[in-house]
Chains A and B, each alone.
Chain A
């Protein structure tokens, strides 16, 4: 399944950490905008499939925060993210709106690429940490006969 550029940046913004977005807060808010849907916290049901292709079952509920903003020129930005951080949701929605503008490359290089790199690094670090704890199981031939 191919991921459109917008899907990619919305995902990156949702996984970003607030302290990575905050340096851009002034730039993001430097435009006239209104909140179509003010940041709000809700619950969503996460479902999963055993082994990826089994019957669907309910894993549990998680909190999500969502927000929709509209800039003065009519572009609307959406955000959905895990957790309860309203400021993060608003900044992510603003970033989505700016990225749909006439100069998305500026925002892409400034913001999204940096965020994506940081996320990849975090992920690699975590995978490396986890890999160190990997245990290989094997069975010795029992010496009964």
Chain B
């Protein structure tokens, strides 16, 4: 076992996990609105917000799929120790997936849930370098009053890929994270292409 790689996680395990869960809940309830997670711990390779989400959401009942860029001994050891989540290399089995920007172009294989239990789909945790430098796109849908301008820097092809995988109520929920911030993109949000 790689005991020497272990690092402390949340300072206050109960309250910090609740804050992380609350932030994820708000991010998905109000798509496109920036959520702040100030108390997140750090781990090399993971942004504080990403790590806080992992610590709050993962446990032994949630198999996690790690993108190759996150598959380091350090991340493996700490997730195994603090979350106790099984790691899987089969996308179909994953309840959560940890992706980087470059993994967004191929979302094949992840569980989309089924018509009876759409909630059993895989939730994608996507780590980006920042959340505000991308091309502005207008989002609309539940949780947005009319429309909301969001500047998440993801490749254009991601939106096509997402649309291709969509068969409401089945679909994939995404939480983008960077630094200490989160933005949620539930399957119900639609794009309204920006003119100009």
Contacts and interface: CB of A to CB of B under 8 A. Distances in A.
Interface of A: 34-38, 40, 68, 70, 74, 76
Contacts of B6: 36, 68, 70, 76
A73 B103 CA distance: 38
Contacts of A70: 3-4, 6
Nearest to B4: A74
Contact of A76 (B4, B13, B82): B4
Contacts of B13: 38, 40
Contacts of B4: 70, 74, 76
Interface of B: 3-4, 6-8, 13, 81-82
A100 to B, nearest CB: 10
Given A38-B13, A40-B13, A76 B3 contact: yes
A76 B3 CA distance: 7
Nearest to B8: A36
B5 to A, nearest CB: 10
A89 to B, nearest CB: 15
21 contacts: A34-B8, A35-B8, A36-B6, A36-B7, A36-B8, A36-B81, A37-B8, A37-B81, A37-B82, A38-B8, A38-B13, A40-B13, A68-B6, A70-B3, A70-B4, A70-B6, A74-B3, A74-B4, A76-B3, A76-B4, A76-B6
Nearest to B1: A76
Nearest to B7: A36
Contacts of B82: 37
Contacts of B3: 70, 74, 76
A34 B4 CA distance: 12
Nearest to A70: B6
Nearest to A34: B8
Most buried by A among B3, B7, B82: B3
A74 B77 CA distance: 15
A38 B11 CA distance: 9
A68 B6 CA distance: 10
Contacts of A68: 6
B70 to A, nearest CB: 21
Q: Can you list the 5 inter-chain pairs with the closest CB atoms, starting with the nearest?
A: A76-B3, A74-B4, A36-B6, A36-B8, A34-B8
Nearest to B78: A36
Given A36-B8, A38-B8, A76-B4, 18 more contacts: A34-B8, A35-B8, A36-B6, A36-B7, A36-B81, A37-B8, A37-B81, A37-B82, A38-B13, A40-B13, A68-B6, A70-B3, A70-B4, A70-B6, A74-B3, A74-B4, A76-B3, A76-B6
Nearest to A76: B3
A74 to B, nearest CB: 5
Contacts of A40: 13
A127 to B, nearest CB: 37
A37 B3 CA distance: 12
Nearest to B82: A37
Contacts of A34: 8
A35 B8 CA distance: 7
